Amino acid sequence: MLSPETILQGRYRIIRQLGQGGMGAVYEALDQRLDTTVALKETLFAEERLRKQFEREARLLARLHHQALPRVSDHFSEGDGQFLVMQYVAGDDLSAMLAERNGPFPQQEVLRWADQLCDALDYLHTQDPEIIHRDIKPQNLKLTARGQIVLLDFTHQRQTAGRAQPRRRSGKRTAGSLTSGQQSRAAGKRSCCRRVE
> Do 117 and 81 share a structural domain?
no
Q: Give me the catalytic one of 74, 92, 135, 153.
A: 135
> Do 77 and 147 share a structural domain?
no
The reply to whether 2 falls in a domain is no
Q: Sort 15 into a burial class: Cβ within 10 Å, 0-12 / 13-18 / 19+.
A: middle
pLDDT digit string, tens, across residues 52-73? 888 887 887 799 999 999 999 9
pLDDT at 89 (0 to 100): 93
> Do 159 and 102 share a structural domain?
yes
The reply to whether 193 falls in a domain is no
Among 59, 87, 115, where does a domain finish?
87
pLDDT at 136 (0 to 100): 87
> Do 115 and 83 share a structural domain?
no
Q: Sort 71 into a burial class: Cβ within 10 Å, 0-12 / 13-18 / 19+.
A: middle
> Do 154 and 132 share a structural domain?
yes
Helix (H, G, I), strand (E, B) or coil at 190: coil
Judged against a pLDDT cut of 60, whether residue 166 lies above it is answered with no
Among 87, 9, 86, 83, smallest CA distance to 42 is for: 83
pLDDT at 167 (0 to 100): 39
pLDDT at 179 (0 to 100): 43
Q: Domain of 72: which CATH number?
A: 3.30.200.20
In whole angstroms, what is the distance from residue 168 CA to residue 79 CA? 39
> Do 115 and 45 share a structural domain?
no
pLDDT at 16 (0 to 100): 97
Q: Bridge partners of 29?
A: 14, 38
> Do 147 and 63 share a structural domain?
no
Task: For residue 113, give the H/E element and its range.
Answer: helix 107-125
> Do 102 and 174 share a structural domain?
yes
pLDDT at 8 (0 to 100): 97
pLDDT digit string, tens, across residues 94-118? 999 999 998 899 999 999 999 999 9
pLDDT at 120 (0 to 100): 93
Among 87, 118, 145, where does a domain finish?
87
> Do 99 and 40 share a structural domain?
no
135 carries an active-site annotation: yes
> Do 113 and 63 share a structural domain?
no
Range of the domain at 70: 7-87
Number of domains in the chain: 2
> Do 100 and 76 share a structural domain?
no
